[in-house]
Amino acid sequence: MKLSLLLSLCLTVGCVSLQAATPNIILMMGDDHGWEETGYNGHPHVKTPVLDEMAASGLKWERFYAAHPSCSPTRASFLTGRHPNRMGTFTPGWSFRPEEITSAHILSQAGYHCAHLGKWHVGAVKKESPVSPLSMGFHECLSHDNFFEMNPSLSRNGGPPELFKGESSAVLINEAIQVIERAQKAGKPFFQVIWFGSPHEPYSGLPQDLALYDDLPAKYPKQVKLTSNETGGATKRPQGEVLRERYAEITAMDRAIGTLRKHLAQSGLRENTLLFYCGDNGTSPDAALGFPHRGTKATFYEGGTLVPGLIEWPARIPKPRSTSVRACTSDLLPTVAALVGQPLPQPPLDGIDLAPVLDGTITARPAALHFWEYQAANRQKTDGEPYIMPELQKGTTPLVKKMGGKATRDFTNFKHPVITEEDYLGARSIIEGDHKLVIHEQKSGAPKIELFDLKADPAEKSNLAAQQPDLVTSLQTKLRDWQSSVLKSLTGADYRK
């Protein structure tokens, strides 16, 4: 009997130790949510009490970046740890490729139950798609091909779209809680990727959230362009009205995250759950107030790529702190792989393991950050062979914003067997240490080159290129070498190893 009790005790201790070493992981992302649009970063209007609490209790990134200043490319980097140009996800509406290895593939191998909830936008979500969430490592999903508003239409596990009544962030979190409960019943750790539809335009808000911002229409009368909720086409409206609705969406998303945090606490899961939040690119032009950073979504200045970045994980981060180490959405896959003890994929990665940042053992990023918008417009759809059959790339989930008269979105991706000098073009930048080089192609003549010291000049007002030509040349060379590596991947060479 003593031996039996001893074995039982050992098994119990072993199970507890295994559970402690196996964190649950939830990676959340807002849509078009820029760095400045949080209370904890000092925004003059928007109210984000839950994100503020996360910043006060966990790890706050002062310099967290989206890998690209637009959504589909950033999402591809988030899932794969690779720059989106490596897989032909050049701009919104370009899918990634079936051969890519995602964090869900890796965590599935580690015994996790993996679920995707919300915006996908790296391919069609229907079952037949070879790049749907179910095809790319997730066990279940409630997903949309693109973004969504109030009362979203979502596809469950690749099926036909279903209408879900309610505020969209709350809908996703309610579903996420049910997924957590299913994983617990199955005795598995859970991995969730939750990509909100907010605060992407067009905007809508609940009455109680709109009321928080009733003073804004009078403060911001200028007209801005956005999508009409009534027609799905382009319209112009006073910015104050737009901000009132946008900030109501952010506050509702913030509240939904609070619901999830409360569930984790009440279920005894908070201590060993890594809860992460970021944005997918900077603030959209219709909502940007012009400070504190230069640029907006779709630009390669800080305002286009700098986003909120927060982690709560009491078991690993017991005391609140902030870090100035630069991090990026490409870092998520190598980080979660390291945390669960799984090997990294063989293809070249652009992200790094951030575990040392979680422990406070490094104070500066050991590798450069690279950003690049491939000139997809130069690559006509007739130029190459489709990587995925067009029929499989057709979306099914409707949204308010119409394109070409359609309320759904289709995707594309093409084979690139041959690389030419033209493939190196496009806006791009590199950040090494505190220095950032930005290159913009001109329609004719030499490219526009800017060099900034981000520590001394975070608003990127002073171009130092003429004063430090040697540094410019060095960074240009490093950026070009990195581009060569990316373009080699674009040919499909990584998949032939």
Segment 213-264, tens digit of pLDDT: 999 999 999 999 999 999 999 999 999 999 999 999 999 999 999 999 999 9
Q: What is the reported pLDDT for 383?
A: 65
Q: What is the reported pLDDT for 17?
A: 36
C-beta separation of 103 from 79 below 8 A: yes
C-beta separation of 52 from 41 below 8 A: no
Is 150 contained in some domain? yes
Q: What is the reported pLDDT for 21?
A: 62
Q: What is the reported pLDDT for 15?
A: 35
Is 7 contained in some domain? no
Same domain flag for 313 and 343 = yes
Distance CA 414, CA 265 (A): 46
Same domain flag for 350 and 384 = no
Same domain flag for 344 and 381 = no
Distance CA 345, CA 333 (A): 10
Same domain flag for 326 and 243 = yes
Same domain flag for 299 and 255 = yes
What does the pLDDT average to over 453-458? Answer: 98
Q: What is the reported pLDDT for 379?
A: 66
Distance CA 326, CA 239 (A): 32
Is 397 contained in some domain? no
Element (H, E) at 432: strand 428-432
Same domain flag for 458 and 324 = no
Q: What is the reported pLDDT for 345?
A: 93
Distance CA 439, CA 88 (A): 21
478: left (phi over 0), alpha (psi -120 to 50) or beta: alpha
Same domain flag for 345 and 379 = no
What does the pLDDT average to over 16-32? Answer: 78
Residue from 29, 28, 27, 30 nearest 287 by CA? 30
**Around Cβ 10, how many Cβ atoms within 10 Å?**
10
Q: Is the pLDDT score of 1 beyond 50?
A: no
Is 8 contained in some domain? no
* Residue 317: CATH number of its domain: 3.40.720.10
What does the pLDDT average to over 387-391? Answer: 97
Domain count, the chain: 2
Same domain flag for 379 and 326 = no
Is 81 contained in some domain? yes
**Running DSSP on this structure, what letter comes out for residue 203?**
P
What does the pLDDT average to over 296-312? Answer: 98
What does the pLDDT average to over 441-457? Answer: 92
Range of the domain at 470: 372-388+416-496
Same domain flag for 101 and 174 = yes
Residue-wise pLDDT tens digits, 171-227: 999 999 999 999 999 999 999 999 999 999 999 999 999 999 999 999 999 999 999
Is 262 contained in some domain? yes
Q: What is the reported pLDDT for 442?
A: 78
Same domain flag for 288 and 220 = yes
C-beta separation of 363 from 324 below 8 A: yes
Same domain flag for 359 and 485 = no
**Running DSSP on this structure, what letter comes out for residue 412?**
B
Q: What is the mean pLDDT of the chain?
A: 94
Provide DSSP, 60-102: EESSEE-SSSSHHHHHHHHHHSS-GGGGT--STTB---TTPPP
Q: How confident is the model at residue 19 (pLDDT cuts 50, 70, 90)?
A: very low
C-beta separation of 415 from 387 below 8 A: yes
**Around Cβ 306, how many Cβ atoms within 10 Å?**
29
Is 9 contained in some domain? no
Q: How confident is the model at residue 8 (pLDDT cuts 50, 70, 90)?
A: very low
Share of residues in the chain with pLDDT > 90 (%): 92
Same domain flag for 442 and 462 = yes
Q: Which two tokens stand for residue 216?
A: 């804004």
* Highest mean pLDDT pick, 10-14, 248-252, 440-444: 248-252
Global pTM exceeds 0.85? yes
Length of the chain: 497
Look at residues 310, 336, 368 and tell me which one is the last residue of a structural domain. 368
* Residue 467: CATH number of its domain: 3.30.1120.10
Mean pLDDT is lowest, of 21-30, 33-42, 122-131, for: 21-30
Element (H, E) at 227: strand 223-227
Residue-wise pLDDT tens digits, 315-349: 999 999 999 999 999 999 999 999 999 999 988 99
Is 478 contained in some domain? yes
